[in-house]
Chain A
Amino acid sequence: MEELDLLKKDWKKSEHSFQQVSESEINAMTHKRSSSIVKWILVVSILEFLVWATLSYCTNSDIYDNMSHQGIATFFKVYDYVNYAIIFTFIVLFYRNYRKISVSDSTTHLMRSILRTHRTVKYYIWYNLTMIGVAIAIGFVVGLLYNPDMAALKEKIAHSNQMMFVIVALIALSIAFFIAVVWLIYRFAYGRLLKKLYANYIELKQNQL
């Protein structure tokens, strides 16, 4: 392409036309803080780990207090330890993936490492959402079966299918609402951060055999 070659000629000619940055200016820059997306992914992720860990800690202690059935209380205690082990595994995985991000890699490789790191957090959040959904459902069923305060409600459900339907719908709706809110926050936190990266990643992989 003729124009591109013309551009190349000019490109080479203007090689030395940039205003030069001095050593002291470069020195000052090395002490400035980065605004890269990797830094932001790290910040947002740490916040998320903290929020979910706190949340699961709070919900679990609530459930214990209302529990009068020994077998189920033990189940939740075991589940608690398993849950912490899983959160810990997620944090280790996240950290390992984060450490692998290297700006000296090829562009595709770099993008893949960033997306992998982000995916760890995504899975972590889905895990938490599922677990909270399951906990709400189990909590309700257990409460209904073993909590004496619920006897009146139990009576009503036993006599009316409609009541049963209303209760199930309420639980389903509250779980759905909760998940929707978290999903929106999640989209907000990462949407803007990763939009450009995804677009470029797809563009780069296009026509790749």
Chain B
Amino acid sequence: MTATTHRMPLARPPKVLVTKIGFDGHDRGSRIVAAYLRDAGMEVVYTGPWQEIPFVVNLALEEDVDVIGVSSLATDHLLVPKLMDALREAGLGHIGVIVGGIVPDDEEAVLKDAGVAHVFHAGSSREEIVASIEELVHTVRAQAA
């Protein structure tokens, strides 16, 4: 496995929740991304598909994660703004949220407006994904400190 050579100036490893909400169960992509992040030295809480928003919020709270990555390949991504509302309501508005999978351009704008930090499309490279999440973890921690 080719580990990326990013330096990790963070005091502790990034902690990322990789999940899927809604109906879609296609989990090949989320499994690969989870492995990418692990191989980049991150600690990944991985849930598998079909999670409900309250479950994800509870998990994020108990695990004190920096970032939540939501994978969506079958139109479920429009639930993400609801997830972000629920996070804010639980006092977890500081957590960075990213989305990966199949997201049409016009709906990408909807997600960005709701506060999603990045949307990764099919074909995004390992380096791009890892680097963006590391960057996001830095931002999240800097804001929290």
The answer to whether A and B belong to the same complex is no
Chain B interface residues toward A at CB < 8 A: none
